[in-house]
Each structure stands twice: as structure tokens, then as C-alpha cells.
Amino acid sequence: MSFPIEESPILEALSSIRNRLTALKRDTVEFLKPQDVVSLYQATVKQVDRLNEIRELSEPHQPNRVDTTLADVFSLLSLFFLAIGRTKECPAIYSQVTSIRQLIDHMRESMVYSEADLKPFQKRLGELREIVQNDAANHPPAMIELLERKLGQCDDLLKEMSGSLSVLSPELVPLHQRLVTMRRQFAALAAKEHSSKADLQKLVDELRKIDSKRVDGKFCVGPGGSSVPPSQAICSSLVEDCFDIAHEIKARGYSINLSEELKPVYERLKEMRAELERLSLTHRWTLRETDLYNYAVELRDIDQMRKDGKWNVGGADGKLGQGQYVLLYLLRRCYGLIYSLLSSSEPVSEELMPVANKLSTIKKVLNEVLRYGGPFHPRELYPYQLALFQIDGMVKDGKFIGKDGSIPEGQGIVMAHLNECHELLEM
């Protein structure tokens, strides 16, 4: 991917920043220092300003290596801001907007979505836009413009997708919602190594029942099925798609049948899904948000292997590989898990997270103990008092102090947990 020679110094500087961020990400011995992250963010913004100055004087450009490298840098920086607990600052939302865009693109491509699927994204984009507006004064215009543009692109796509559903007649909306759910259930069955015959048959029976309501290939409503509402194609295509997946599962003997060239892709996607699902269960204790970067890059590379939405095999002839439904389901599942993990990131730095988790556990246990009533012998409460005493010892002048003398993010949340635990003990 070629780029103008005058952008070479910027590419070199951005590559250096990316390397430093990658090295920082790999260092799991020391806690992240906010000043290191902010310093690299400021260095990146400086390069963005230089890049904008050059491009303002030149002709409209095509995306090149500089843009790709810059996107990598912003993705890493965004994850670092989440890791140090600065979730309400502009850089932190970049990775979330990117993740939303990936999910929206795949939903739009598959045409398997309902209005209920779009609303959570619309709500989240509104929350992210509010963060940008509240924090805009603390960041250069170039950063704000970038985020506003990305948010606007997501909004436009959601409006387009919502518009495509607006043709659905009200009578067909419940049916459409059910067919969307069934389409996902069929895809999930197709992705299993050994699909359950009973589960498949149950879905197929319901699908046939729905299909039997069609008259001359159309869904009818009203007294005696006297009315044929518009937007038949949307529901009919979902029915046919569900039958296609069911036939494929049966044809391959209820087990996964993949082209030999696609088996490594399948194994890696299956492995990533398992790892991300495990992180979803343990993220409060084990996740450093920067860990998600490698998953995001690998998923992007796998996604880019597709041609016209499909994985082809056999080199030049471009033959369609077997196992498309399986790979797409796993890819989209991984994208969804990453978005879920990013959205659940808390405004607490990784240095304070162990304390926040410990207090959260103590609070839950004390609430359970209180449910059984009292009175309690002091000896019974001693373990909790000791645990809180140890945490109290970490507080100086009303704040938790980091190892390097800094004040980590999340003071308000952790102090609120601590005070609540003391109040529960006094009760």
C-alpha cells in the first residue's frame, strides 16, 4: 500500500509509538502508569496534527499505510485508557465505536436483525457521544472530529437498517422477530461439532408450522387470511435461509464438514471464542483491556480473508469453501464477546481493581449474612473486620495511593464500596 513520500516521517513516528505501546502491553509485571499512556497519546495527537497539515495542502487521498498504522495506534491507546480506568475520556471510546461498527456491518450484511437488535446500539452510541461532548474541551479538535465522524457513520448505518425494516407491516413484526431468533438458533446449531438431532427437529417443526401459514408463498393476515401485507420478501427470505441451514446440517450428518484449507481458521476461531467466553466470566479478576487488542487484530485478518462475504479455497479459481455458516457464526460471536467486554469495562484502574473486587465480595457476603439476622458474636465478624482493616491501611488522606505515589482512577467507586462495607458491619 503506497503512500506519499512527505508522510514518511509521520509513518515512522507512528510505527515507533505502536511499538512502544506493544511493549507496554506485554509488560504484565508492573501496573500501567497513566503518565506513560498520556505521554504516548499526546505524541500521537502531534503526529495527527502534522498529517492533517500535509493533507490539507494535497489532493484527496486514498487510505494508505499511514491510516492503517494510525488506526492501530488509536485502538491500542483506547484500550490503555480503559485499562487505567479513564473510561469517560474521549480516547477510551475509540475501540468501542470500532467494535460497534464491526457488529453493525455484519448484521447489515446478514440481514438478520430486528428493531429490538438495533436499539441497544443506538442507546450506546448516544452514551458515547455524550462522553465526547463532555470531554471535548480536554482534547484537540482533530481527535473530536475523528470520533464524531466514526459515531456519525454508525448512526447513518443504523438509520439505514432501521429504514429497511420500516416497510414491515405491523402484523408481520412478531413473526419477523421470531424468524430472526430462529435463524440465529439454526446458525448456532450449525456451528456445533455434533448438532443435536432433537434440537434441530424441534426448530424444523416450528419452521414448517410457520411455513404452512403461507398461501401461494405469502403470509396472510386478517379474518380468514384475507389480507396480504407488504414486505413479504423479508420474512420469506428468513424462512428459506433457515431451511437451507437445516438441510446443510442434515446433509453433513449433523457434524461439521469443513474444507481442508479452512480447518485452521475454524480451529483458531473456536479457540478464540472459548478464551473470550472464559474472559467474560472472569474479566473482573483477570482482564487487562489491552489483552483484547490481539484478538481484535486476528479477527480482522480472518474477516479480510473473505471475498464478497465468503471464504474461498483453491487459489485462483476461487471455489467456495465448505463451512461458511460455521465460520461466520464463530467470527460474529467473537466480535460480540469483545464488544461485551469493552462495554463492561469499569472506571477503575487495574491497580485498584483487586481492592474493588475484594470489597465487592465482602459486601455480597455481608449482605448474605445479614439476611439470616443476628445477633452476631464478635468472633463471627472478625474475618470481615480484619479484611476491612487491611484495606483501611492502604488509605492515606482519604485516598488510595499507587506504588509510584500517584492517585489511581476509581477512588470514588472504591471508597463508596469501603464505606458501605463498614455500614453493613455496624448493622
- Tell me the three state secondary structure of residue 31: coil
For residues 68 and 15, the answer to whether their CB atoms sit within 8 Å is no
Give the CA-trace dihedral at 328, 330, 335, 341, to 10 degrees.
170
**Could you report the per-residue pLDDT of 336-347, keeping only the tens digit for each?**
999 999 998 888
**Could you report the per-residue pLDDT of 180-229, keeping only the tens digit for each?**
999 999 999 998 888 889 999 999 999 999 998 888 778 877 665 567 77
Return the C-alpha cell found at 46.
502531534
Decide if pLDDT at 59 tops 90: no
Decide if pLDDT at 171 tops 90: no
**Could you report the per-residue pLDDT of 121-150, keeping only the tens digit for each?**
999 999 999 999 999 999 999 899 999 999
| Predicted pLDDT of residue 330 | 95
Decide if pLDDT at 283 tops 80: no
| Predicted pLDDT of residue 378 | 77
Decide if pLDDT at 288 tops 80: yes
* Distance, CA of 309 to CA of 305 (rounded, Å): 9
| Predicted pLDDT of residue 230 | 74
* Contacts of residue 163, Cβ cutoff 8 Å, sequence gap at least 6: none
**Could you report the per-residue pLDDT of 149-168, keeping only the tens digit for each?**
999 999 999 999 999 998 88
- Amino acid 314 reads G
DSSP secondary-structure letter at 33? P
Tell me the backbone φ, ψ of residue 376, rounded to 5 degrees.
-110, 140
Determine which of 56-60, 296-300, 319-323, 361-365 has the lowest per-residue pLDDT on average.
56-60
**Could you report the per-residue pLDDT of 246-277, keeping only the tens digit for each?**
999 998 888 888 888 999 999 999 999 999 99
Strands (E), 167-283: 214-215, 218-219
| Predicted pLDDT of residue 17 | 96
Decide if pLDDT at 13 tops 70: yes
Sign of the dihedral defined by the CA atoms of residues 64, 67, 69, 75, in that order: negative
What is the percent of the chain with per-residue pLDDT over 70, rounded to a whole number? Answer: 95
For residues 287 and 227, the answer to whether their CB atoms sit within 8 Å is no
Return the C-alpha cell found at 376.
452476631
**Could you report the per-residue pLDDT of 395-418, keeping only the tens digit for each?**
888 888 888 778 888 888 889 989
Average pLDDT, the chain: 89
Q: Is the pTM of this model over 0.75?
A: yes
Q: What share of the chain is helix, strand, coil (3-state, %, to 5)?
A: 70, 5, 25
Strands (E), 232-374: 312-313, 319-320
| Predicted pLDDT of residue 35 | 92
Return the C-alpha cell found at 243.
431451511
| Predicted pLDDT of residue 1 | 59
Decide if pLDDT at 316 tops 60: no
| Predicted pLDDT of residue 407 | 86
**Could you report the per-residue pLDDT of 60-113, keeping only the tens digit for each?**
677 889 999 999 999 999 999 999 999 999 999 999 999 999 999 999 999 999
- Measure CA of the first residue to CA of the last residue in the chain; give whole Å: 67
| Predicted pLDDT of residue 276 | 94
